[in-house]
Chain A
């Protein structure tokens, strides 16, 4: 008896990495799985049915039920088609896991429009393209689980990833709003920010560890992805019915709920608008007291305000 017996799941980007581990876990827990992956390279080029078929075959070989889907989430028709395939094949859709993703890292001042567009298309538009039809189906069912993938790159910031960070932070926002749109219909929407060494993290500044200092060598490849998958399995289960609109960090054996970006420190004036000297005091001494510039200018750069004080605020 699995935790997900009788459920129907769609997992995007399930040919490799975390998506593969998630699809196999959901299959092992009794869910019937549509395994989506167009089999592209990490930069989004090419096409190969192999990865999705391999994952689907592995689920079937382990005694589960699965079929491949090779559409791209970057197109609205692709998202519609994979949701429809689940409904046509298995009669419903209980679980949507949005793992599909690509990378085109570049510093902002060198990033090509095409590098921005491609990453936004797969991650951000890709999430919308599956969530839109899936949420309609789940609303009609009065039940469903949507699990999105965000990242510390967007939640905390990372160099050379303004496209990926924008998409991943936007997915966190989409998660919070969609949770409020569909919660009343028995559908939950949550997001996971994973840390796992997969082919996507190779060559990323900061490695697969984001800002964390955890050594990558301690846990290689699939083992890390397998550590991320159980939290997705839990969020997909009936028992997680009341967990909605949250962001979870998952790294190795650690599962954390993310702090919501609510006001941390506040300054107030009873007679707005603020003057600039008032703001200068309040911002420095109250709001920024425990913050530091993550990427300060080097000492040999002349910085107005640090090295010269020629302008007055009032």
Chain B
């Protein structure tokens, strides 16, 4: 029996990049795969069923089991429909991997409302549109794997990506809350912050460069990381296995042969004033925060001129 035989996985954004590699690997490991991708451009416009069908066919050609789905996660109906598609095709859903994503980079002071909304809708709301219906199934099954995609853009911070960074940090927050809600039902929730060269990272560089150029800021030439999206897929597959039953609520950085667990946001250093004393004076904080709390923590974008 292979590692994922009899399991059914839904992978969103599975026509390209990391999602495609995940779908192909899960298929090789014996899972039935719902290959979801609406076939849109990087900014979310357009649409074609062809890309998802191509990946589903590739899985079938290798002797696996897959169906293509061209729905969108950006609406509640779209999310519910692709979960139902998986249930109708294979009888259950054991894993949901939300790799779908779009980009609309812009400096925050110039970001249009629709650029903000479109990115939040696909990444963050899209994950809710999937986990809301599937969490009911997984709770009944007493088995499930939820794997969201986060990003260093939100966890660490990357200029020109207020929408994307917010959505990706939000997925990390969802991951932790889903773990708390569902862990007792033998459902785990984890997130991956990948490093890989895909069409998304090519555009990150290009769009961030143009955003900066529009603000009169020069940017260094793009740095190739030589990170193969296929190197992200094994950790996703591992989290789907039975062996990963007790890994819950974690965020992992994955890519280029490395897997790291992200530090939790607990206090790094503290200053204390006894509880029953008066509140802090601003002058006290002005003395202690820079010297005690901020030691070694640099301003990521200090004022210029």
Contact = CB atoms under 8 A, between A and B. Distances in A.
Interface string A192-226: 00000000000000000000000000110000001
Contact of B267 (A181, A237, A249): A249
B166 A260 contact: no
B241 interface: yes
B149 interface: no
Interface string B166-205: 1111111111111111111110100000000000000000
A164 B171 CA distance: 12
A287 B259 contact: yes
Interface residues of A, number: 124
Interface in A150-165: 153-163, 165
A243 interface: yes
Interface in B81-118: 107-111, 113, 116
A11 B196 CA distance: 41
Given A108-B182, A244-B300, A287-B260, A161 B1 contact: no
- Chain B contact-residue range equals 35 or more
B280 A274 contact: no
A229 B159 CA distance: 29
Given A155-B173, A311-B1, A178 B108 contact: yes
Interface stretch (B10-18, B59-67, B131-139): B131-139
B183 A301 contact: no
A99 B29 CA distance: 48
A76 B114 CA distance: 11
Given A274-B234, A293-B248, A157 B177 contact: yes
A297 B185 contact: yes
Interface string A256-269: 11111111111111
A215 B166 CA distance: 32
B259 A279 contact: yes
Contact of A298 (B175, B184, B237): B184
A258 B301 CA distance: 19
Contacts of A64: none
A259 B263 contact: yes
B294 interface: yes
Nearest to A228: B279
Interface of A: 3, 29, 76, 107-109, 111, 113, 116, 120, 124-125, 128, 131-132, 135-136, 139, 142, 153-163, 165-174, 176-186, 188, 218-219, 226-227, 229-231, 233-234, 237, 239-249, 252-276, 279-280, 282-283, 287-288, 291, 293-298, 301-306, 308-314
27 contacts: A153-B177, A154-B170, A158-B177, A159-B177, A159-B180, A160-B180, A173-B155, A176-B156, A182-B108, A185-B304, A186-B303, A229-B279, A230-B282, A241-B303, A252-B275, A274-B257, A274-B259, A276-B243, A279-B235, A283-B259, A293-B188, A301-B184, A303-B186, A305-B242, A305-B246, A311-B3, A311-B241
Return the 3 tightest CB-CB contacts between A and B, nearest first.
A169-B173, A173-B169, A183-B301
